[in-house]
Amino acid sequence: MKLILILLLISFVLSTNSTLKIKGLDWWQQEVIYQIYPRSFKDSNNDGIGDLRGIYQKLTYLKSLGVGCIWLSPILKSPMADFGYDVSNFREIDPIFGTMDDFDMLIRKARKLGLKVIMDYVPNHTSEKHEWFIKSVERIPPYTDYYIWRDAKYQNGKRYPPNNWLSNFGKSAWEWNEKRNQYYFHQFGVQQPDLNYRNPVVFEEMKNNVIFWLDKGIDGLRIDSVDYLYESEEFLDEPPSHVDGVSAEEYAYLNHTYTRFQPENIALIQTWREVFDRYSARGSTKFMVTEAYGKAEEVIKFFGISKRLGAHFPFNFLFITNVNKESNAIALRDIIQNWYKHMPHYGWGNWVIGNHDNPRPATRYGHFLVDGLHMLQMLLPGTAIVYNGDELGMEDTFIRWDQTVDPKALNAGPLKYQEFSRDGCRTPFQWDDTENSGFTKSLHTWLPVNPDYWRVNVKSELKNKKELITHLEIFRELVQLRKNIVFQRGDLNLYVLSNWVLAVTRSFNDHATYAIIVNLGSEITISNLYEKRPSLPRKMSVVIPSINSNYLKGHIINTNSIVLRPKASVVLTTSEEDWDIKPNIITHEDDNYKIY
């Protein structure tokens, strides 16, 4: 009987009618995780680049959003060939962002505000400027085999790489080093040599770096590119993908059967999870999330296999990789079902619609669909991970070739750079309508500010007239709504009301039932939810409308004839009394945000 009382039932009523039982929810399951790209968030010293003190200044804004955890993209010592993803020292803060004292100060203030802090850990490779690589080139023990070195192949007196493996940034993944007279392997840029995890000393070094940051008091790590950590020991050529229109130097030209998703990657993450759990036993849970793009059945293995736990969850990128402007309601339903279908019984869901590596949601799906996607992201079972600026509906900035700084785009050249560039989604955060959007007082920013900053910014969306709805207002109310027990522990039902209209309902015991209706199409729709779920009342009230829905909070809607404009969406409830959302009211005064 006691066991039954401590177990919470979440019933996902999907095509398989599967049921998942979980224990009481931990902080990482309840809170929204907010990703900060430090270079672009807030510049405190007016050099045109964001920094830790800038983040410190804006912590109260983040608190006012209702998020419970901030995730910092790379801030460690780096030559910045790939803007922090080429680490030259895993235990130092890069001076561009500040000092270790600045980091400690940020952690202390975040803790006072009740915010958790996690940070990026980039374990697949280091910078070529790292002491380890410099000594490895010189064959100085024990660094000789810290990286993956191979002899050249020779044919008719000409030197060739060991095999056909390609870099994620394009061209060969092998770079010749004259001093060592060998090739080194790099899955990403030539300045980012891959570590050799088959060397037990490297394995321990990288695990000890994890321990260092857990000792510093962070609440967790986001482990970057976990699908690349190991490569096949046989070094065989990879087979062609036969993808149309892809050149022989582009990464997509090959199927990466020997360089991605090797079983050893999962074993490594399982070993690190044991470290996280030891620290978690001392108090609050230390959280580990992994990043890998791939099929659900591949990515989900990072939850752990063979009865050993891996990550608390691997990022779910299906809304990024499998959804576009032409995706209909059936496609979205199938994507949602597919994740839960492959997720292990002990797993926990999560939803990502934007990050620093992909065009922003407002760019990919259109400005008016942003609210509907946030409704799904926030109100589906699982954790929501949000990229800074998406709460405002920020769009990608067009970056000319002469302004391009992303190495992935630069490698593609001036004819194809826009296809590969990540610069557009990394431009400065838009705080207000002053020069450079309040991001900096410098005349120049490391990337140009979006020209629409005068209308899309925190200040304007907060000071908008009360009768107008903004993306920011909707976002904050969704964050509060998801704290309701229905969304924390309730069931899930998915309904395709028409080819372009998806409905989601959430219920829990005797609490109010909620429905999310999203019109993905380009025409006005009239949908009948009552027909799909007759247990619902004939009328429900609007809890949260999208900016283009033509509804206001409290409007009563007939569930058998729900009218939605193109790309519009609404959250409905069966009981207004159960809606107890009281988002914080914040004011904008000289970059200080006050919480009342």
Q: Helices 471-481 and 370-379: crossing angle, nearest 10°?
A: 10
Q: Residue 573 is inside which H or E element, if any?
A: strand 569-573
What gap in Å lies between CA 28 and CA 219, rounded to an integer? 10
What the block records as the tokens of 419 is 């296809």
Query: 149 by DSSP, 3-state: which?
Result: strand
Place of tokens 């296999």: 305
> Among this protein's residues, is 224 annotated catalytic?
yes
Whether the CB-CB separation of 501 and 329 falls below 8 Å is answered with yes
Which residues, 6 or more positions from 451, have their beta carbon under 8 angstroms from its beta carbon? Answer: 397
Whether the CB-CB separation of 291 and 223 falls below 8 Å is answered with yes
Catalytic residue among 94, 102, 175, 224: 224
Which residues, 6 or more positions from 384, have their beta carbon under 8 angstroms from its beta carbon? Answer: 32, 33, 350, 351, 377, 378, 482
Catalytic residue among 291, 371, 390, 461: 291
Q: Helices 200-215 and 263-280: crossing angle, nearest 10°?
A: 30
> Among this protein's residues, is 334 annotated catalytic?
no
**Residue 317 backbone class (left: φ over 0; alpha: ψ -120 to 50; beta: rest):** alpha
**Residue 306 backbone class (left: φ over 0; alpha: ψ -120 to 50; beta: rest):** left
**Residue 5 backbone class (left: φ over 0; alpha: ψ -120 to 50; beta: rest):** alpha
What gap in Å lies between CA 349 and CA 284, rounded to an integer? 20
Residue 293: exposure state from Cβ atoms within 10 A (0-12, 13-18, ≥19): middle
Tell me which residues are annotated as active site. 224, 291
